[in-house]
A and B are shown apart, each in its own frame.
Chain A
Amino acid sequence: MTAATDAVAPPKARGGIAQSVSDSLVVAKRNLIRMTRIPEMVIFGLIQPIMFVVLFSYVFGGSMNIGGSTSPGVYREFLMAGIFAQTVTFATAGAGAGIADDMHKGLIDRFRSLPMARGAVLTGRTLADLVQTALTVVVLAIVALLVGWRIHEGVPKALGAFALLLLLGYAFSWIGALIGLSVRTPEAATSGGLIWLFPVTFISNAFVDSSQMTPWLRHIAEWNPFSATVQACRVLFGNPGVSPSDAWPMQHPVWASIIWSVLIIAVFRTLAVRKYRSATA
């Protein structure tokens, strides 16, 4: 090949939102292709929530008192909103581990040396995780229907609940992105990305009725951003066990869920993008 035909000048940067969107989609596509090449990761991502449904509903099912009922069927319906919400928050660990791996392998350096939009590497990653999360939620919903979970308030409201879940998952994946950029190894990102999720998802109304907790724990549970989404899902699905608490997020769970998620995105996206710009492997 001669030098003349080889001269390829870089096109003008388009700049602005159009470039951000396009770059983010290019990176998202890359991450989605990766998922198809590592199917075992997607499969493990599916098995875990299914296992939780089965374990919780059959192990805890008979001993839980939900709104005065100890029927396992009632608990199963109560449980599903919690499992859905817990499942979407696990996107955090995926985003964190993926980004830490990219740092480790030098891909972040490659991206950072390219004339691309600043937040695009992280946005692309979180969008790809959102696709995977959505897939997981669909599979989980099918399993839930099989074990007796039902929606009682119509499809539009149920779709609204799923939208809130995905928004929560998307918000949490920005926390994961920040963790991934802050740790030294992908392994640390995986465990660091998961460990804090246990208190967040358990000190909540996800698996037990939070109104039965001791007062100080109950306050934390009711103001936990995670609980707002769980409560909103119970309301929108028409599932039992909606907390009668006076706390504002429990009274206005849909709004609380949206506000919390948007707030998390605003804070953690800013922090993560700043961290990305100074990232060193």
Chain B
Amino acid sequence: MPGAIYAEGLVKTFGHVRALDGVDLDVPEGTVLGLLGPNGAGKTTAVRVLTTLLQPDSGKAFVAGIDVLKHPDEVRRSIGLSGQFAAVDEYLTGRENLQMVGRLYQMNAKRAKARAGELLDRFNLADAADRPAKTYSGGMRRRLDLAAALVVSPPVMFMDEPTTGLDPRNRQALWEVIQELVAGGTTLLLTTQYLEEADHLAHDICVVDHGKVIARGTSDQLKAQTGGERVEVVVHEPEMIPPARDVLARYGLAGIGHGEVSVEDHTRKLTVPVAGGAKLLAEVIRDLDTVGVEIDDIGLRRPTLDDVFISLTGHAAELADEENGGPGADARRKSRKEAAK
């Protein structure tokens, strides 16, 4: 039985650009799928197709068990949409916005009014309820937007980059709301450029690039795929790099391709993939001390999703704006890919 969100072979082209190039998704009920990728990867296009806003060129999509292409109206009754492109009316007050959305979900006026009141309380907007949304801060606006998506407690939610542009405190607050929702049984598809966000919120992650899912799995699985832990050492003097390298090479995992010690001369940082955890770290420190290497910093680093991202796509997530950035972008990406090896 397919999940609450299911897609098979979605293709959508805009001119020469294949925004979606055969995307398959399957999100079990009550779980969160993080769609992770740079700008232009196809995340938003995928959300637009699944929320009935865009017709795919080919492929199948089901949301809450309903065929998105055949019964878009029924799908709309079962979904909530929030994020970078589903907005609120800035000239209407928070209350008027929510009432309007309630009415358009076919609630009667009384019910829409009551529901708006509940949501304003829940999202901490009661004090600002009767002010035009124009006067709201970024965080308040996002909360109102999310409230608008929740007017009917839809079983399936889509959030397109819900925290883009929010300050850390507001991001944290929004994360809590999202976690509450999921605890209540909502199925959620979340797109994000922030690896930390996917790591924090999503059960499963799909990494998307150039319209294709290039990796999927839990955060831990993806990290394991990239390689295990590594030891990072910052030595005190540049002359200490060669002896330190000799010591670390003894601990380096051979045969993984990145088994060798990598060195950043200007930061005096050496990195080596290892297996053995904290115990091994103690041994490394002892050995370095024996050969007289003075260290400024040493640590056992587990791979972050950033590492995953770089190794999968050959470019870091935050550099994604270069995606369409002129002739140099490809070359830069290539060199970065090589550097990551």
List chain A positions with a Cβ less than 8 A from chain B.
Answer: 1, 3, 6-14, 19, 22-23, 26-27, 29-30, 33-34, 37-38, 105-107, 109-116, 120, 278, 280-281
Contacts and interface: CB of A to CB of B under 8 A. Distances in A.
Contacts of B88: 107, 110
Contacts of A115: 73-74, 76-77, 104-106
5 contacts: A9-B152, A105-B90, A109-B53, A109-B86, A114-B101
Given A6-B153, A109-B85, A110-B148, A14 B106 contact: yes
Contacts of B153: 6-9
A10 B91 contact: no
Interface in B78-93: 78-79, 81, 84-92
Given A1-B122, A13-B106, A6 B77 contact: no
B76 A113 contact: yes
Interface of B: 48, 51-55, 73-74, 76-79, 81, 84-92, 96, 100-101, 103-108, 111, 115, 118, 121-122, 132, 148, 151-154, 183-185
A281 B104 contact: no
A30 B132 CA distance: 12
Contact of B106 (A12, A109, A278): A12
A37 B52 CA distance: 32
A26 B86 contact: no
Which 5 residue pairs spanning A and B have beta carbons closest together?
A106-B87, A3-B184, A115-B76, A10-B152, A37-B91
Nearest to B109: A26
Nearest to A9: B152
A30 B86 contact: no
Contacts of B105: 10-11, 114-115
Contacts of A120: 104
Nearest to A3: B184
A106 B86 contact: yes
B78 A6 contact: no
A13 B74 CA distance: 9
A26 B115 contact: no
Contacts of A7: 153
Contact of B91 (A11, A13, A38): A38
Given A1-B118, A114-B105, A8 B73 contact: no
Contact of A30 (B73, B89, B106, B152): B89
B55 A11 contact: no
A107 B89 contact: yes
Contacts of A111: 104
Contacts of A33: 91-92, 96
A35 to B, nearest CB: 9
Nearest to B108: A11
Contacts of B79: 113
A39 to B, nearest CB: 11
Given A110-B148, A111-B104, A6 B76 contact: no
A19 to B, nearest CB: 7
A27 B86 CA distance: 16
A121 to B, nearest CB: 9
Given A1-B118, A10-B78, A23 B104 contact: yes
A105 B106 contact: no
A126 B151 CA distance: 26
B310 to A, nearest CB: 32
B50 to A, nearest CB: 10
B266 to A, nearest CB: 44
Contacts of A281: 85
A26 B104 contact: yes
B106 A11 contact: yes
A106 B85 contact: yes
A75 B39 CA distance: 61
B77 A10 contact: yes
A37 B132 contact: yes
A85 to B, nearest CB: 30
Contacts of A38: 91
Contacts of B184: 3, 6
B106 A19 contact: yes
Given A37-B132, A280-B53, 4 more contacts: A10-B107, A26-B103, A110-B101, A115-B76
Contacts of A112: 52-53
Residue with the greatest number of chain B CB neighbours at <10 A, chosen from A8, A34, A111: A8
Given A109-B85, A110-B86, A115-B76, A8 B152 contact: yes
A252 to B, nearest CB: 42
Contacts of B122: 1
A12 B108 CA distance: 11
Nearest to A25: B103
Contact of A34 (B53, B89, B107, B154): B89
Contacts of B132: 37
Contact of B87 (A29, A34, A110): A110
A222 B287 CA distance: 99
